[in-house]
Amino acid sequence: MLASKLKNAFLNLARRDVPTEETQPSFPVTELTEKQVATLQNSLGYVFKKKGLLIQSLTHSSYYLHTGNQLQSNQRLEFLGDSVIQLALTEELYKEYPKEREGKLTSLRSSFARGDTMADIARRLGLHQYIILREKERKAGIAEQDSSLGDAFEAIIGAIFLDSDWATARKVTLKLYGKLVPQTEQEERIANPKGKLQEMIQPLHGNDAIRYETTSEQGEPHNRFFEITVFCNDKAIGVGTGKTKKEAAEKAALQGLAAMEESK
């Protein structure tokens, strides 16, 4: 029932929000050649009817920074694509694992809907070559960051949904994911270190024992570096650095896992 309602909501949204030829904004189409567009569409297994949607899905938010044209970046498509991916994964996992309970299914979905998982798919597609950036940001390595790649992947799925329909977007999403095989314990630890650290600390010290704190922040707004420290009962057990707070926190959690295991 819920999946049916969500599908209907998606279909209504598609009919209402898909841009017409007259209302499509002016996109920086010169940033991608016809050959690049053709190559990417071949990798996706989908040919866009409205190429402007594909271009928008690849346009990083920094491209229009301080221009007043932020709505032409891929952020809105990313928002939509996230929900399309979540529903596609939810429906497929529900069918593939009929004996699993809700908690396990939620955990499985989270592992597949993680930013780094989507970034890996984006790398396989070579999306870093197509993300539209200003030259300064490209040289700074923005296109190779997990956040940029994951956002672009979500935006492309959102664009495919608007350009076609739910069934097509679902089919493309699941094809790009491949077989939804659960991770091993070690893979899960690496993929979700914060969750594993919480599982380790909670039975011993309670729900509120663990906290993450940003202890350093450096660099230009478009190229920040963060240092995050994880504490257990106010004792530092791990420090991590990265270009996003998420990356830094996960590295800190990995150190925290190692520290907790050594103290056993």
Are 242 and 214 contacting, i.e. CB atoms less than 8 angstroms apart? no
pLDDT at 20: 44
Q: Same domain for 127 and 228?
A: no
- Please report the pLDDT score of residue 233 as a whole number: 93
Picking from 167, 182, 197, the residue at the C-terminal end of a domain is 182
Q: What is the pTM of this model?
A: 0.66
- pLDDT reported for residue 176: 96
Q: Are 197 and 150 found together in one domain?
A: no
Residues 141 and 31 in one domain: yes
Residue 198 structural domain: 186-262
Same domain, 175 and 195: no
- Residues belonging to the active site: 82, 154
Which CATH number is 48's domain given? 1.10.1520.10
Q: Domain boundary residue among 137, 161, 182? A: 182
| Tokens coding 250 | 């996960």
Q: Same domain, yes or no, for 168 and 205?
A: no
Residues 98 and 32 in one domain: yes
- pLDDT value of position 55: 94
* Same-domain status, 119 and 225: no
Q: Looking at residue 177, what is its pLDDT?
A: 94
Please give the pLDDT value at position 264: 67
What CATH number is attached to the domain comprising 255?
3.30.160.20
> What whole-number distance in Å separates Cα of residue 50 and Cα of residue 14?
13
Mean pLDDT, contiguous 10-residue spans, the chain (264 residues):
57 51 42 90 96 94 77 92 97 94 87 88 93 88 89 97 97 94 60 82 88 89 84 93 87 88 74
Domain count, the chain: 2
Residues 170 and 104 in one domain: yes
Indicate if 154 and 84 belong to the same structural domain.
yes
Q: Are residues 154 and 212 in the same domain?
A: no
Residues 169 and 97 in one domain: yes
DSSP codes of every residue in the chain? -HHHHHHHHHHHHHHHHSPPTTTPPPP-GGGS-HHHHHHHHHHHT---SSHHHHHHHTB-GGGGTTTT-GGGSSHHHHHHHHHHHHHHHHHHHHHH-TT--HHHHHHHHHHHSSHHHHHHHHHHHTGGGT-B--HHHHHTTGGGSHHHHHHHHHHHHHHHHHHS-HHHHHHHHHHHH-S-PPPPHHHHHHH-HHHHHHHHHHHHH-TTSEEEEEEEEES-TTS-EEEEEEEETTEEEEEEEESSHHHHHHHHHHHHHHHHHHT-
Q: Which of 152, 182, 212 is the last residue of a domain?
A: 182
Based on the fold, state whether residues 161 and 192 are members of the same structural domain: no
Residue 190: what pLDDT?
63
